[in-house]
Structure 1
Amino acid sequence: MRNLQITLTAIALTLAAGAARAEEGMWTYDNFPIARANATLGTNIDQAWLDKVRLSSVKFGGCSAGLVSGEGLVMTNNHCVATCVANLSTQATNFAETGFTPRSREEELKCPGGSAEILTQITDVTERMHAAGAGLEGQAFTRARDAEAGKIEQEACGGAADKRCQVVSLYRGGQFKLYTYKKFSDVRLAWAPEDRAATFGGDLDNFSFPRFAIDAAFIRLYENGQPAVTPTHFTWNADKPVEGTPVFVTGSPGATQRLLTQDQLMTVRDVVLPMDQLIASELRGRLIRYSEEGERQAFEAMDPIVGLENTYKRGLGRMRALTDPSFMAMKAEQEADFRSRAGAVDGDPWTALSAIQPVVRENYAAMALLEGGTGMGTTPVAGGSQLFSWARTLVRGAQERGKPSAERLPEFADSRLAAVQSGLFAERPVYPELEQVRMEWWLSKTREWLTVDDPRVRGLLGDESPEQLSARLIEGTTLADPAVRKALWEGGLAAVEASSDPLIQYLLSIQDETRAVRADWEARVDAPTARASEQLAKARFQAYGDSVYPDATGTLRLTYGKIEGSDVPGQRWGAFTTFDGLWDRATGAAPFDVAPKLLAARDRIPAGTVLNMAVSSDTIGGSSGSPVVNEKGEILGANFDSTVLTQRNAYGYDRNTNRSVIVTTGAVTAALRDVYGMDHLVRELGVAR
């Protein structure tokens, strides 16, 4: 521990200037430090290289991915296609157990509701966004900003079905950029291994290294019923990786909170993470209990349990970071240096943000449970119930679409309705008993956290218990039928209000309570936080210039590092694992049982083939599926995990402990060729048999 403290203290001194050092930084493509990266790594990339990598990078749902052929073939992680696999599976034909191995493109299946995007353009719209909120306070400020963002998006994309425009806030309001994407609404599953091959080691190995997982899959982008033409793509390189090789990781990391003040981090530590962790652990327990009731229940709960386990372990790593005195000392020293360099700042944003924290602490539970969208935590509204989500979209969509676009909730602006409809109309399987478990959990937890006497709780439950209410709503709803959802959406407010569906009527009945919570949060938390954060951003630019990178926001970023192991307390290991190590680690008992098809192919796979590797790149949740490429633009693998110590990456980068876990292209090639008989994909990748 003492060695680790010394290391962190040294890092604190190194990073005290606030400018990014070494491999630190999830950089936007319009401000990537080319010269610094080349000097650090000994590479020779240029703007043309950046453009090719950007246009080869794909955002797929909440994951990242990369184009690997001229015919729309994309590699991502198996866990990134898990929902697609689950939606395409039945108990009788469970592709999670067997793997999905189509013998031709004609057998590739469409992922329900799936879409993918490629970033084509970045435009600065900071002046327009700052002007929109000038002189306004509270909810008027947030709504004016939201309206201007919707207007900008509509001007740029209009009603184009093959484009998506998004105004992105960077540096917590210091900059605003318009991101324009090429959108693909027809995404088909092209290959996925057996789930046991991708999740070998289960939760015990999760967020750790060494790893022995083929966490990879392929999807294909389609246009007009045909594979998309994608001449710009990564070149497949299945050669054995070499330790010390410089690499770049391109993807869409979900969210970091590195620019938060110390007072804001204390709120995350004391309020947000404890609640999220307690709630996630109980929901996980309920789903596990449900899965033990039978084979059907186990099939239905498999995917959500895995997601919750990831959420919980990620939160655990972040909690450890915020309770680590050495790590927090580093953060405090960085803030002190910033304040000394910034000098006098208009409005004293540090004091303003400090004054907001009591409001956040008091209202976080209500906002998280009733509305979500805090930008801080992970608590799922209604326990993640799909039926509840559809009902809320139908009710709010009907209420909002009668207003001018600029006056609506931002998610229902004209520029975003196409995406809303796509998700609403998608044909997805729904499991009523699982939905009831989720709803029952949410109602009981909301009553517990807000207390029985809270008038909002009385509005949610009326005279019913969580068990009675969830059963009545889920058993009576017809929203599992996409035709019903489509008719209600197209019928507008009149159709929604006239509906006899109990879930629709329930959502109508709780709008006053839930909208009030949101309006209060926007006025007393979002708006003043945005104002103060904008002031901090201006001070940061003045102090450090463009050597500062923004927090991750779920948009495309580029980071870099080297292939290497780790040698700090808690994680000492080399850079690689091999198939030979997989066979040695296998016990035959879960979770260390090898997938049947993979085990059967043991003699066909060269034992020394590198399966997984560790990289010192700067990544976070959302980076799953991110292509790992060399300076030639060749893809060497895909990021699929990181270590528990790396979870502190949400708040600050530590080069010594930060390691991303990568499934190699060599391992994927071996799986395609030697295990699953996917010869047509091997040929498409340009690999000699």
Structure 2
Amino acid sequence: MRLKSGLFATAALAVMLPGVARADEGMWTFDAFPAARMKQAYGWAPDQAWLDKTRAAAVRLTGGCSASFVSDMGLILTNHHCVATCVEENSTGSNNILVTGFTARTPGEEKKCAGQQAEVVTSIRDVTAAVKGAIGTASGAAAVAARNAAAARLEAEGCTDKATTRCQVVSLYGGGQYKLYTYRKYSDVRLVWAPEAQAAQFGGDPDNFNFPRYSMDASFLRAYENGKPVTTPAFLKWNPRAPQDGEATFVVGNPGSTQRLLTMDQLAFQREVALPISLTTQSELRGRLISAMKESPEKAREGAETLSGLENGLKVTIGRVKALNDPAFTARLAAAEADLKRRSAGNAAIGDPWSAISAATVAQRNSHIERSFATPSSQLFGYALALVRAASERQKPDAERLPGFSTSALPLLEKSVTDERPITPWIEQLRMEWSLSKAREYLGADHPQTKLLLGRESPEALSARLVSGTRLGDASVRKALWDGGAAAVAASTDPLIVYARSIDANARALQKRYDAEVDAPLISARAKLADARFAAYGDSNYPDATFTLRISYGKVQGWTEAGRPVPTRTVLGGTFDRATGAEPFDLPKAFVANQARIDKNVTYDFVTTNDIIGGNSGSPVIDKAGTVIGAAFDGNIHSLGGNYGYDGTLNRTVVVSTAAVQEALEKIYPAPNLVAELRGRRR
């Protein structure tokens, strides 16, 4: 259900040469959209005015999703799974709006989403010369420190108004370019409308990353400022129509991460070290959670969204493992790397970055387990570590702070730490027990880091003591510690704060070692690889995804599966045909109650050839006229290969149509005020 980055390969996956965009491939930055290439393929391409308007309406959600403004009153369209945590946190045992759905009849009923922030790009500036100049000839940890200091300085200079703006220096092409992104931010985001979870998650894990789909994975939020909805003159016009086969479509959003530029040595590290550990540990956590949820209906309710996320991530990991153990797939990747080496041979300015990356990858192998299990996994522990580190880092000059603690980054960190949100103690304890037990398993009981993490306690006893004893579940306690700074944190006797203080030095030392042995060598080597790709493939080169704003173009089109054509769309009536009465194919209650009213011929979900990845969840799907006709929420099973390559014959984006959402707003989950707003009428 969640569009996450991942990889699944088949023998038919045609991996493109690194940096060579073909067909509808490409997650393009807005300042480098390939208009000429699109016009050659489609006979039309958007002009600068179209791009500027679309960019100004695109929204990044700090929870890891994308979205868009769809009215001039701050109304935001995104996916249900992007707001499910907010819905869950606003639910109770007696009023579970995750199950029943939610509609705000008035602005006063709109519910705050803790930790959420909406951000809109206002400018993109190339700062490559400034960052590379700061790095100069530095090496090792000094190079990483110089890069981080330059980024912190540029961010601070770019955003003097921390209340309404956020600046972020982003590394593109693995360090070949650096861009300063400036955002207009809205820190008060509220829930407006969400269907039943079963409507959004119909088909559950079996249908995840598959098509045909029957999913109402859409919801609405609203951005507020000073207690009032913000005025947003730049928005996408709502267009509740069915898509037309073959029509051009654009997906605008923030793809999280791709790994299309990794070398073969880096892929081997993923296949042989990182992925096997992830697969084993994720599987065990899923099993522990399922077992605990069976203990009571209340635990089943409280753990539902956590389980959904775990199952999604596990499916992605399984796909990656399969792909990187496919000899035919890896042979094509090796051939692509060989082609770039051949084209770069004799270029003294490029040299041999592959050898430097190989050496850094050896160092990464040697430190991976220790870094992976440096701290336990838990929301409460995350609060504790953030408070401990913020208290220390805020005393330093900006240039000397850890990434994520710079002056420009602190407002969002403070919000995430101090916003009030419910905590589920048994999930906190379960996650901590799991992560600490895995640390002991992979490091060994006699490893110094295991002894540091556990002392003489078991994972179970330590987790129980810390979770039951802490007061960090209370937002007012966290706020007091944040405001009190170093003195308050040093004086705190809260067991989780004490524990975080005791293990932070080791985690910092591991990061410092990684910076010196892995990150620093990669800074120079990846920059040279970027130069090699530009020299070899020219302007068909686009950067890996970095959770920054991108635009992809494609068209509404099905594909052929096992010799049979897959249609481009499903209809609402298909939900009733697919239903079995048993989870996860049981009908949402509102669908049953309103079956006679629903127009079963309305287009529900559809597919396009747009190139997307995790982080694009909630991205608007836009037509040539610049109107929104859907929201991307998933990919088909082949699209998981998008992590390492794109195949236009198989990769598809899965979209919930605005036509289906409109039908839901009118007949299934009636929201007349919202319908009027989408039509441009004032409430």
Same fold (TM over 0.5): yes
The count of residues paired between Structure 1 and Structure 2 equals 670
CA distance in 1, matches of 2:159, 2:571: 47
Alignment gaps of 5+ in structure 2: 1-8
The match for 1:482 is 475
Match of 1:132 among 126, 131, 134: 134
Alignment of 1:360-375 (within 5 A): 360-370=364-374
Select the residue among 300, 312, 315 that pairs with 2:314. Answer: 312
1:193 partnered with 2:187: no
CA contact (8 A) 2:18 2:260 kept: no
Residue aligning to 2:5: none
Aligned residue type for 1:452: A
Identify the residue that residue 617 of structure 1 maps to in structure 2. 610
Distance 1:347 1:72 in 2: 51
Of structures 1 and 2, the one with the larger relative CO (CA 8 A, separation 6+) is 2
Q: Write out per-residue CA displacement over residues 297-330 of structure 1, whole angstroms, 9 at most, x where no aligned residue.
A: 1122111111111111112222222222332232
- Name the structure 1 match of 2:328: 326
**Structure 1 counterpart SS, 2:409:** helix
Partner residue of 1:357 out of 356, 361, 369: 361
- Decide which of 120, 141, 144 is 1:142's aligned counterpart: 144
531-540 vs 338-347, which deviates more? 338-347
CA contact (8 A) 2:18 2:337 kept: no
Match of 2:566 among 573, 577, 580: 573
**Which residue of structure 2 aligns with residue 279 of structure 1?**
281
Residues 511-567 of structure 1: per-residue CA shift (max 9 Å, x gap): 222111111111111111122101111122222222200000011110111111110
> Which stretch of the first structure deviates more once superposed, 318-327 or 557-566?
318-327
SS at structure 1 position matched to 2:30:
coil
Write the distance in 2 (CA, Å) between the matches of 1:455 and 1:44. Answer: 59
Of 199, 204, 217, the match for 2:219: 217
Q: Secondary structure, in 3 states, of the residue corresponding to 2:32? A: coil
Structure 1 pair 651/494, CA: closer, same or farther in 2 (3 Å)? Answer: same
The answer to whether the 8 Å contact 1:559/1:617 transfers is: yes
Deviations 1:43-66 (A, max 9, x none): 341111111111111011200001
Partners of 1:210 and 1:17 lie apart in 2 by: 31
1:157 to 156, 159, 169: 159
Q: Which residue of 2 aligns with 1:88?
A: 90
2:403 alignment partner in structure 1: 410
Q: Give the gaps of 5 or more residues in structure 1.
A: 371-380
AA of the residue aligned to 1:630:
D
Query: How big is the shift at 1:121?
Result: 0.3
Change (3 A) 1:605 1:438: same
The 1:626/1:570 distance shift into structure 2, 3 A limit, reads farther
CA RMSD of aligned residues (A): 1.6
TM norm structure 1: 0.95
Amino acid at match of 2:469: G
Alpha-carbon contact 2:58-2:68 (below 8 Å) kept:
yes
How far the C-alpha of 1:4 sits from its partner, in A, is 6.8
Aligned mate of 1:270, from 263, 269, 272: 272
Partner amino acid, structure 2, of 1:512: A
Q: CA deviation at 1:663?
A: 0.3
Equivalent residues in 2 for 1:442-591 (5 A)?
A: 442-569=435-562, 572-591=565-584
What is the match of residue 374 of structure 1?
A: none
CA distance in 1, matches of 2:106, 2:484: 41
Q: d(CA) in 1 for partners of 2:442 and 2:629?
A: 47
Compared CA separation, residues 347 and 450, structure 1 to 2 (3 A): farther
1:192-234 Cα offsets, whole Å, 9 max, x none, are: 0000000001111111111001000000111221111111111
Distance, in Å, in 1 between the alignment partners of 2:565 and 2:262 is 31
Q: Tell me the residue number matched to 1:642.
A: 635
Give the distance between the partners of 1:125 and 1:4, measured in 2 at CA.
40
SS state at 2:31 partner: coil
The 1:296/1:16 distance shift into structure 2, 3 A limit, reads: closer
Over 3 Å counting, the alpha-carbon distance change for 1:570 and 1:18 in structure 2 is farther
Instruction: State which of 55, 64, 67 in structure 2 corresponds to 1:65.
Output: 67
Contact 1:19 1:547 (8 Å CA) reproduced: yes
Q: What amino acid is aligned across from residue 566 of structure 1 in structure 2?
A: W
- Aligned 8 A contact 1:172 1:537 in 2: yes
Question: Which residue is 1:676 aligned to?
Answer: 669
Report how far residue 91 of structure 1 moved: 1.1
Q: Secondary structure at the match of 2:77?
A: strand
Cα distance between partner residues in 2 of 1:71 and 1:167: 30
After superposition, give the CA deviation of every residue in 1:607-646 in whole Å (9 maximum; x if it has no partner). Answer: 1111100111111111100110011101110010112221
Structure 1 CA distance, aligned partners of 2:364 and 2:17? 28
Counterpart for residue 54 of structure 1: 55
Given residue 577 of structure 1, which amino acid in structure 2 is its aligned partner? Answer: T
| Structure-1 separation of matches of 2:326 and 2:412 | 41
Q: Pick which of 153-162 and 191-200 moved more.
A: 153-162
Which segment is superposed worse, 601-610 or 317-326?
317-326
1:16-38 Cα distance to aligned partner (Å, 9 max, x none) = 48421110111100111011112
Task: Name 1:375's counterpart in structure 2.
Answer: none
Structure 1: distance between partners of 2:411 and 2:641? 36
Q: Which stretch has the larger CA shift, 659-668 or 315-324?
A: 315-324
Corresponding letter in the other structure for 2:56? L
String of CA shifts for 1:247-288, please: whole Å, max 9, x gaps. Answer: 010110110000111111111122111111111111111111
1:4, 1:568 within 8 Å by CA — same for their partners in 2? no
What's the CA shift for 1:347?
4.3
The answer as to whether partners of 1:43 and 1:246 remain within 8 angstroms in 2 is: no
Instruction: Give the letter aligned to residue 92 of structure 1.
Output: S
Q: Which amino acid aligns with 1:366?
A: E
- In 1, Cα distance between equivalents of 2:680 and 2:400: 54
The amino acid of 2:357's aligned partner reads L
* TM-score, with structure 2 as normaliser: 0.96
3-state secondary structure, aligned to 2:256: coil
Preserved contact between residue 41 and residue 561 of structure 1 (Cα < 8 Å): no
1:52 maps to amino acid: K
Report the 3-state secondary structure (helix = DSSP H, G, I; strand = E; otherwise coil) of the residue aligned with 1:652.
Answer: coil
Contact 1:349 1:532 in 2 (8 A): yes
Letter in 1 for 2:332: M
Q: Which residue of 2 aligns with 1:606?
A: 599
State the distance in 1 between where 2:17 and 2:391 align.
Answer: 51
- Does 1:235 find its partner at 2:237? yes
Is the CA contact 1:576–1:610 (under 8 Å) kept in the aligned structure 2? Answer: yes
User: Which letter maps to 1:23?
Assistant: D
Q: Deviations over 1:553-590 (max 9, x none)?
A: 01111011111111044985211111121110011111
Measure the CA separation in 2 of the matches of 1:166 and 1:534. 19
Q: Deviations over 1:382-419 (max 9, x none)?
A: 33x11100000011111111111111112111111111
Amino acid at match of 2:443: L
CA contact (8 A) 1:96 1:195 kept: yes
Whether contact under 8 Å (2:68, 2:235) holds in the other structure is yes
Structure 1 residue 352: Cα displacement: 0.9
Taking the aligned partners of 1:47 and 1:555, their CA distance within structure 2 comes to 19
Distance in 2 between residues matched to 1:511 and 1:237, nearest whole Å: 51
1:430-479, CA deviations, whole angstroms, 9 ceiling, x for partnerless residues? 11121111111111011111111210110110000001100111111001
Give the structure 2 partner of residue 247 of structure 1. Answer: 249
Aligned partner letter, 1:516: A
SS in 2 for 1:168: strand
Q: Distance in 2 between matches of 1:629 and 1:547?
A: 23
Letter in 2 for 1:245: E
Structure 1, 324-333 or 48-57: larger mean CA deviation? 324-333
Aligned position for 1:376: none
Query: Corresponding residue for 2:170?
Result: 168
Question: How much does 1:362 deviate?
Answer: 2.0
